[in-house]
Structure 1
């Protein structure tokens, strides 16, 4: 019962830390009860199957954490209107399992090599787990520890140096030091060591936040220019209206909103809009647009006609597109994801795209590079499809695996200095991935997203909060257009300057600064995660070496 209570306390600390309703400072002690449970079971318990006990209790902690913080996935609906259990059960169960296995590796290593080496291994293996979760096809880094301060961004300004993965390392180190402090006190009951170690815990937790707050109040943007942006929010029901409404009507309503916001709001001298930003897959509704036929598309030509009435203005937004390969040779040269269309003798790739439209110019297109597992991509299809069958989640649109762009693209234009990074929805939770846009020259992050799959829940709030991390890491302003909300303008300190609430239809206008230069994090990426990979490799190789030396 003692172990269960401690495990539940650990789960509670994780849950109450998480944005956007939580208090993140509890995260500094969230692992401590679980680490105490593992230590008690390993050293003093008479339980027969100790490893199974550690695994079971850690799984209890992590599944509660996952359910409470990401249970909003239950709001995803099937085409018949029922809740999609698969959308919540699979990520919660699998993510909890992966976390428990990571903790289990720590338990095995500590049992073999002792507490001190074990704690170093714990920090390193958890960092490797988070890095792994950012990279593979079943990627789900939503609960990576560094994300926890997304709503308290004043205290993580140093993410421009170490990134959110550096935040994970910071949190792990504080937890380990807090656990060590308790163990030293239990072993010796020496007040002096308790005071010293407690002071170190407090210092390690508080000092980076103090440095960050000084950075926050002293940071000044040094723009190379600015642009006026209208972030369009059509508020389309993503399950029915979006795929049942006529495509021409969808674009017409989008342009109607744009026409009503053709000048910057609250500007003393009416300043025209330079960029109209539309949400993810904002058109055509049902189906998609052929990339070979952009020049003939009625929808795109309607947008160009609208832009012709607003000189030196461009349109960027999300669109569902496809590309047809005329023969197998062309397909083999350009794609590994194209599917063969029976009876038509051609191959086709479907994409979740961002397009930039300018009158009298070819349409520029970027294909989303980080796809949502189970919704936009069938992970490890050759292995899992024979086991699971056609297990892709149907949210009303396509249920085939989409194609991707291997490299990031930046949209420049002839009218101003803006170089837009077309960040599409899920991509905005990946720090090192977003850095690639900056390395390509982007001076403004333009996020296009559709968060309304989960209704009015923590889902869209958390995704908006995570965007603030990207602003700090890259020191770029963000303009964010969401289908149903929340559309927002975020400055390079992570402040939400202005926003359009969830469920509102209209547009948010903002003057966004264009910023250049590369932060240390942009240049180095997830440096500490790569270092921890080396540490894990070294510690694993250290085991046989240590045994050999002991024998000698």
Structure 2
């Protein structure tokens, strides 16, 4: 068994060292191979007991290595200890590592069961189907954590995946998994037969499987012409420490800082000023969403920029809706402090200018444990304040069903107001585009983990959305990296991490709809259908075999 443990460790390391931002994604095409060898060898040992449990343990070892190395930076999230001092939050790191590795291992166990019961062909066909089904599930349930969806693995090599405009990230997932199966099949055949034809096929088929999509992608990349009229935008990067400044400074100081930063950098041609996620009001209550037109802080912005009558301000903001009595409150509302008032809280985007009615959008893909208490009705009675004790939340931010877009009276821009974590979700982003968005504005505060791979990965994962939708991205990040990204996923200009300032650039307004935007995660839906058919076939086969044995 020891050599199979080594196999699992090698798989975990290959997947980890193939992962962004430091890894080389070619390794992902070989990452599952040692684990597949271990599964296959153990399945063939006739007298070995608890084969499934052993394979589950090996897969868990491989996946926990991948997850642990892949998000090593997550433990830099801070929480307060008993003395009121900030310290690294290991629970914020360990929980997703342990839980996500467990889910991956369950998926691999299902693959093993189908392969063992229905045969190698059906098993190897089942693996990409069930894995894509798992990734699709992970995009949509209340404990969503799609960080390790395999298609994200090429985010640092966006020239390789220009065809994502047709497939989305599930095309990358399928590419990786089929590549692993090709390597496993021919390498296994060569090792067992020593025939050079299998060695040659291994080299040729693997090379072609990897090289042809990359070649097609470079052809698309070099021939693609960006579309649409241009707008000029300026992104603000206030560089406020999220633990010691952003939610501690007086709201008037924060707003005044944004106004000053804008005045220092604005030019007459700027049509949009974009501020990061929850750029204001900072500590204390959020803005009253039912009284925005008369809000004093918003009036401060308008009054300070009357000389720019056609300039539109787009920003992240915290909003609240207040209920004077508990009976009037919604299920997501919580008591506000020691008062008798109840409130709903939203992490929102807001657009306003001198002419138009204020427009808002409420973030709807929430960070589990921080903005969202998953399955609250079931888990809250069981856990109580446990999540709060670990630095999480005991409430859920209000979300919305449809993706709102922002329009204005001065130009043709139709803005997708994407907030932070939402930029990981491909089909979700297409919802803005289907509602008319011709440019993507990403507002984020991803400085919770310091100057680590965390904010760089979120930037790169978001850039995939530019390829999938062929929309320019205007990105404002609290501490960086703020950037302008074109429709091919190139970062045209950027403002580095922990640099206070502003960045002005151009963005094109593209109205063309990509194949992926129109059809969404169709590959995942095919995978779900195929996995259901294969799983059903295997169950029926087992029932028939059971009846034969009885007779």
Q: CA deviation at 1:171?
A: 0.7
- Higher mean C-alpha displacement, 277-286 vs 254-263: 254-263
8 Å contact from structure 1 (residues 374, 391) kept in 2 = no
- Report the Cα distance in structure 2 between the residues aligned to 1:97 and 1:156, rounded to whole angstroms: 29
Q: CA deviation at 1:387?
A: 2.6
Q: Which residue of 2 aligns with 1:375?
A: 370
- Higher mean C-alpha displacement, 356-365 vs 230-239: 356-365
Q: Which residue of 2 aligns with 1:285?
A: 282
Q: TM-score, normalised by structure 1?
A: 0.94
Q: Which residue of 2 aligns with 1:123?
A: 128
- Report the Cα distance in structure 1 between the residues aligned to 2:542 and 2:497, rounded to whole angstroms: 60
8 Å contact from structure 2 (residues 190, 198) kept in 1 = yes
Matched, 1:364 2:369: no
8 Å contact from structure 2 (residues 309, 354) kept in 1 = no
8 Å contact from structure 2 (residues 387, 394) kept in 1 = yes
Matched, 1:33 2:41: no
- Report the Cα distance in structure 1 between the residues aligned to 2:207 and 2:225, rounded to whole angstroms: 29
Please provide the CA RMSD for this pair.
2.0
Q: Which residue of 1 aligns with 2:319?
A: 321
Q: CA deviation at 1:348?
A: 2.5
Q: TM-score, normalised by structure 2?
A: 0.94
Q: Structure 2 vs 1, CA of residues 358 and 283 (structure 1 numbering), >3 Å: closer, same or farther? A: same
Q: CA deviation at 1:4?
A: 1.5
Q: Which residue of 2 aligns with 1:229?
A: 233
Mapping of residues 36-435 of structure 1, within 5 Å: 36-44=37-45, 47-79=48-80, 80-223=85-228, 225-263=229-267, 272-287=269-284, 288-325=286-323, 336-339=331-334, 347-392=342-387, 400-435=395-430
Deviations 1:210-265 (A, max 9, x none): 00010001111121x111111000000101211221100101011111111112xx
Tell me the SS of whatever aligns to 1:282.
Answer: coil
Mapping of residues 9-20 of structure 1, within 5 Å: 9-20=10-21
Deviations 1:155-179 (A, max 9, x none): 1000000001111011111111111
- Report the Cα distance in structure 2 between the residues aligned to 1:508 and 1:202, rounded to whole angstroms: 42
- Report the Cα distance in structure 1 between the residues aligned to 2:137 and 2:392, rounded to whole angstroms: 29
Q: Which residue of 2 aligns with 1:267?
A: none
8 Å contact from structure 1 (residues 375, 393) kept in 2 = no
Deviations 1:419-473 (A, max 9, x none): 1100000000000000000000001100000011000000000000111100000
Matched residues, number:
541
8 Å contact from structure 1 (residues 325, 347) kept in 2 = yes
Q: Which residue of 1 aligns with 2:24?
A: 23
Q: Structure 2 vs 1, CA of residues 64 and 397 (structure 1 numbering), >3 Å: closer, same or farther? A: closer
Q: Which residue of 2 aligns with 1:268?
A: none
Tell me the SS of whatever aligns to 1:122.
Answer: helix
Q: CA deviation at 1:396?
A: 8.6
- Report the Cα distance in structure 1 between the residues aligned to 2:93 and 2:339, rounded to whole angstroms: 37
Q: Structure 2 vs 1, CA of residues 10 and 547 (structure 1 numbering), >3 Å: closer, same or farther? A: closer
8 Å contact from structure 1 (residues 55, 101) kept in 2 = yes
Q: Which residue of 2 aligns with 1:4?
A: 5
8 Å contact from structure 2 (residues 73, 449) kept in 1 = yes
- Report the Cα distance in structure 2 between the residues aligned to 1:549 and 1:46, rounded to whole angstroms: 24
Tell me the SS of whatever aligns to 1:481.
Answer: strand
- Report the Cα distance in structure 2 between the residues aligned to 1:424 and 1:549, rounded to whole angstroms: 52
- Structure 1 residues without counterparts, runs of 5 or longer: 264-270
Matched, 1:473 2:478: no
8 Å contact from structure 1 (residues 78, 394) kept in 2 = no
